[in-house]
Amino acid sequence: MPFSDIPTERLFRFRELLGLSDLTENPLARWGEVLGARPDDFADRIQGFVKEAPQLRIIQDNLPDPAKLRRNWAEWFTGLFRQGLGEELLTRLWRSGQAHVAYNVDHRLISMAYALARAYLHERVAASLPAADAPGVLRSIDALIDFSLLVETDAYVTFATRCELDVIQGIAHQVRNPIAVIGGQARRLIRLHSQDADVAEAAQIVLEEAGRLDALARSVTRYMDVTDREPVAEATVLTPLLHTVLARIASLPDRPKAVLNVDIAPEADRLAVAPADLDALLAALLDNAVRYAAPGDPRVTVRCQPSEGRPGFAKLTIDNTGQTLSAEELTRIFSPFHSTDPMATGMGLAMAKAITRKYSGGIAMGLLSGGTRCVVTLPQAPAAAV
Ligand code: HEM
């Protein structure tokens, strides 16, 4: 795997959090001969654990070269005293997380193996180091093991999620072709049998349902794209984006001509949310507000101001005049596929929640007298330099 594919910035942050980034040389290097002299001994310790856990043993026994695992453990162990915290160790650990997903190794047992590694090294320190040196060396050992496990876990979580995302994305993508064929055939039936009311009616229903499935597949793809994208705390100006999104919604078919009221406080007009994510969030929330605004009096009000409860965050409020929800429905409104409208996909608000969560913000929906209110908190970006 090329080093550029590894999220080095995030991993170097772990290193910094563990107080390891200021070190110019590996703190364990001078203890290599005393502590790192018996890598086979260490490999035996992990091997003993693997032998006792049937689900690990079966993985090892089925490898073309079962001894490869012992070599991996021994190399990591010697690397602790030689390589230090550079790219080589990072790459190896990242690849190990990926391998552990590929071979379906239970991550709880990987954590256990690292706990055994720590215990082994602590024992070696107690047995062979002068008491005065021990505390500093133990701190370095703990930091290096924590760092190793963090990098491995990061890779494990990334690849495990990646596999699930790929399956879901794949299904959403694959079903669109048959749906298009079904819709096309329904249209053909309507054209060829326009005189036969029963056939035309049945074909129309098939066509509408195909349209619904297509919208669902597209919204699942959008939801997965949002989940997949890393959050980027890029400064985005809210007002122009808001108007672009509102114009896009107004051009959609079947949307009521709602009266819009926008009031953005200048000090809350810059949000630390990537434009693509803010666009998707606004599109989901505003389309909902416009679509379900009271038919006789469709009004939508958007406000944004600094949050009083959360310094550094902005509070975006979207009110509409419609009230199509009960208090009970409010509790489930952000669940995927949940909608009170049979023609909706139920993914819009779930996606909005995923975006706010990604940026450590929040979202809540409440009832007003004669309307509905959605409140979103999002991180503010620092004011632009003048
Ligand atoms: C302290 C604990 C562990 C460490 C430091 C560790 C480290 C590693 C490393 C460095 C690799 C090779 C990555 C590469 O360069 O491609 C690897 C691969 C692998 N590990 Fe682990 N591992 C640990 C625990 C375990 C355990 C408990 C299992 C259980 C069976 C396991 C199963 C595997 C498998 C199946 C592979 C892929 C085989 C291969 O090397 O081709 N590991 N691990």
Give the pLDDT score at 23. Answer: 67
Q: Give the residue, out of 1, 72, 90, with the most ligand 1 atoms within 8 A of its beta carbon, to mutate for a pocket test.
A: 72
Q: Which two tokens stand for residue 382?
A: 């620092």
What is the per-residue pLDDT for 166?
Answer: 80
Residues in contact with ligand 1 (CB, 6 Å cut-off):
46, 50, 56, 59-60, 68-69, 72-73, 76, 92, 95-96, 99-100, 103, 105, 109-110, 113-114, 117
Per-residue pLDDT at 4 exceeds 60: no
What's residue 48's pLDDT? 97
Atom of ligand 1 nearest to the CA of 59: 30
pLDDT for position 203: 94
Q: How far apart are CA 243 and CA 262, in angstroms?
A: 9
**Average pLDDT of the chain, as a whole number:** 89
pLDDT value at 233 more than 90: no
- Residue 260's pLDDT is 92
User: For residues 170 and 375, which has the higher predicted lDDT (pLDDT)?
Assistant: 375
**What is the number of the ligand 1 atom nearest to the C-alpha of 117?**
1
Percent over 90 (pLDDT), the chain: 61
Mean pLDDT within 30-49: 94
How far CA 201 is from CA of 183, 191, 192, 193, 206, in Å, comes to: 14, 12, 13, 10, 9
- pLDDT single digits (tens) 102-127: 999 999 999 999 999 999 999 999 99
Ligand 1 probe mutation, 42, 68, 69, most atoms within 8 A of CB:
69
pLDDT at 27: 84
Tens of pLDDT, residue by residue over 361-381, are 999 998 888 899 999 999 999
In which band, very low, low, confident or very high, does the pLDDT at 142 lie, cut at 50, 70 and 90? very high
Which protein residue's CA is at the shortest distance from atom 5 of ligand 1?
Answer: 73
Q: Give me the mean pLDDT over the 244-255 stretch.
A: 90
Residue 326 predicted with pLDDT over 70 = yes
Q: How many CA atoms lie within 13 A of 150 on its CB side?
A: 18
Instruction: Give pLDDT, residue 66.
Output: 95
- Domains of the chain, CATH where assigned: 3-163 (1.10.490.10), 235-379 (3.30.565.10)
pLDDT digits (tens, 9 = 90+) for 66-76: 999 999 999 99
CB-count exposure of residue 242 (10 Å: 0-12, 13-18, 19+): buried
- Please name the residue whose Cα sits nearest to atom 3 of ligand 1: 73
Ligand 1 test: best mutation among 49, 68, 95, 96, most atoms within 8 Å of CB?
Answer: 96
C-alpha distances in Å from residue 60, one per residue of 2, 51, 111, 120: 27, 9, 17, 22
How crowded is residue 236: how many other Cβ atoms within 10 Å of its Cβ?
Answer: 21
Per the CB < 8 A criterion, the answer to whether 222 and 351 are in contact is yes
Atom 13 in ligand 1: residue holding the nearest Cα: 96
How far apart CA 40 and CA 44 sit, in angstroms, is: 6
pLDDT for residue 87:
80
Q: In the chain, what percentage of residues exceed pLDDT 70?
A: 97
Q: Is the pLDDT of residue 338 over 60?
A: yes
